[in-house]
Amino acid sequence: MSPDPQSLPTTERELVLTRLIHAPREKVYRAWTEPELLKQWFTPRPYTTPVVEVDVRPGGASRIIMRAPDGNEFPNHGVYLEVVPNEKLVFTDAYTSAWEPSEKPFMTVVLTFEDVNGDTRYTARVMHWTVADREMHEQMGFHPGWDQATDQLEALVATL
């Protein structure tokens, strides 16, 4: 069986994760847009997400801090570019807040939530500024990390 075309990168600077989540897309979208829910699943355990501040609207800023088990923190600042409730979120780290450019843009993420008979086809397209950035993200563990976080997302939305 050939792979789902939605799960294939369209450029050499892109990484893609596609998963069928057994929950309505409204719940999956909520888990991406409500801070208290994001904190519960966003980073692969044993990492945690102690800080989530999101203004989910085009031009709205986000601030998410991931914490490693050793206490090191990894802040992620960004801006939402497109918001279609229950269907699509697009955000980037190219800006921090109020359209202020970041020092080193790394990626833009396009999330889609498609209804499939009451379940959700969840697709995360992560587009990087350079091939080197994409390679670095892969080496950092994009596939196992995003897979584990998506497992955690699916477990959480099953309880909503």
| Domains of the chain with CATH codes | 16-157 (3.30.530.20)
83-123 residue pLDDT tens = 999 999 999 999 988 789 999 999 999 999 999 999 999 99
Query: Beta-carbon neighbour count of residue 140 at 10 Å?
Result: 9
pTM assigned to the model: 0.91
Question: Burial, 154: exposed, middle or buried (Cβ in 10 Å; 0-12, 13-18, 19+)?
Answer: buried
